[in-house]
Amino acid sequence: MMTRKLILIEGLPGSGKSTVAKMVSEILIEQGKKVQLFQEGNLEHLADYEGVSFYYAGDFEALLKTHEKYIEVLESNATAHDQGFLIPYRKMKEQWGIELPDHIVKDIFSRDIYEIPFEQNVKLITEKWQDSTQNVLSTNDDCITIFECCFIQNPLTMGLVKCNQSKEQNVQYVLELGRIIHALNPLLIYIDQKDISYTFDKAVSERPKDGLKVLLTTIRIRVWGKQRVIRVLRVRYGFCRKERSWSPKSMGYFNWIRYGWIIRIMTARLVGTS
């Protein structure tokens, strides 16, 4: 019997993932469970990168030469990773109080992990999930980890919206993440929301209004185009609605809940074993 170590909350933008994730966390805590909740935008996320850019070593040197006045700031806050460097530009501003001019933020954002080529993104994100899984497995307690949106939403947004990859490539991306987390006995909760245009507009309007996030959201919508984003969200919704596209048959290691707005949470399904 496997102890449940991971719960994944998924659905379209604006469908209520944050609300449901908090609700699930509260239910488990009330049941006496130890819980760690990582929601969208968490700069300390175990399995995802939020506001982080990746530069190969040569590209990083070019960045420093372009912005010589900020060499010390950039070098001191970049972290060596594989054959390059990670720059946590959102953490630099929001946690460490480091202010960079907008034109530098735009340059760094152009190498955000969700802006780089698909193959680079897959490599970095897959490695992050592997590290996260080992981190959770290495703890000797019964803590349940909850992730919001990073399992299906982020990979498919990257593949379908940004990089226009095929359905097969996107499905394989997510299935590989599923294989990585198999040992955590994950539970996947999918929130069903049919009005895609409404949920998109709702998600954009409700996002935090601080300057950096507005700037980054504006860049993404201008580059990708609202109608393209909505069109791809429709495709993504179709993936999750097809009878066997994201079902226990094709992702057999998951316990699966289709989660509508009539909310019924069976605690045994959340904390039980299989």
pLDDT digits (tens, 9 = 90+) for 195-219: 656 665 666 566 555 444 444 444 4
Alpha carbons 254 and 175: distance in angstroms, whole number? 11
Top pLDDT among 242 and 121 is at 121
Sequence-distant (≥ 6) Cβ neighbours of residue 67 within 8 angstroms: 74, 104, 107
Checking DSSP bridges between strand 84-87 and strand 79-81, what pairing results, if any? antiparallel
Span 235-251, pLDDT tens digits: 555 555 543 344 433 44
- Structural domains in the chain, CATH included, are 6-48+117-271 (3.40.50.300), 53-109 (no CATH)
Lowest mean pLDDT among 72-86, 135-149, 175-189, 223-237: 223-237
Higher pLDDT, 68 or 190: 68
Does residue 263 have a pLDDT over 50? Answer: no
d(CA 51, CA 139): 27
- d(CA 36, CA 2) in angstroms, rounded, equals 19
- Give per-residue burial for 136-147: e unless 16+ CB within 10 Å, then b: beeeeeeebbbb
State residue 116 phi and psi, 5-degree precision.
-75, 170
Averaged confidence pLDDT in the chain: 78
Residue 230 pLDDT more than 60?
Answer: no
Q: 259 versus 9: which is more confidently predicted?
A: 9
- DSSP state string for 25-75: HHHHHHTT--EEEE-TT-TT-SS--SS-EEEEHHHHHHHHHHTGGGHHHHH
Which of residues 74 and 236 earns the better pLDDT score?
74
Confidence band, pLDDT 50/70/90 cuts, at residue 152: confident
Which tokens belong to 263?
């909310």
3-state helix, strand, coil in the chain (%, to 5): 50, 15, 35
Higher pLDDT, 232 or 6: 6
Determine the 3-state secondary structure of 221 from DSSP. helix
Question: pLDDT category, 18, cuts 50, 70, 90?
Answer: confident
- Nearest-angstrom CA–CA distance, 97 and 163: 33
Q: Which whole-number Å values give the CA distances from 199 to 12, 14, 108, in the listed order?
A: 7, 5, 29
For 105, 208, 237, the CA distances from 215, given in Å and listed in that order, are 9, 11, 27
Q: Is the pLDDT of residue 155 over 60?
A: yes
Q: Say what the pLDDT of residue 162 is.
A: 76
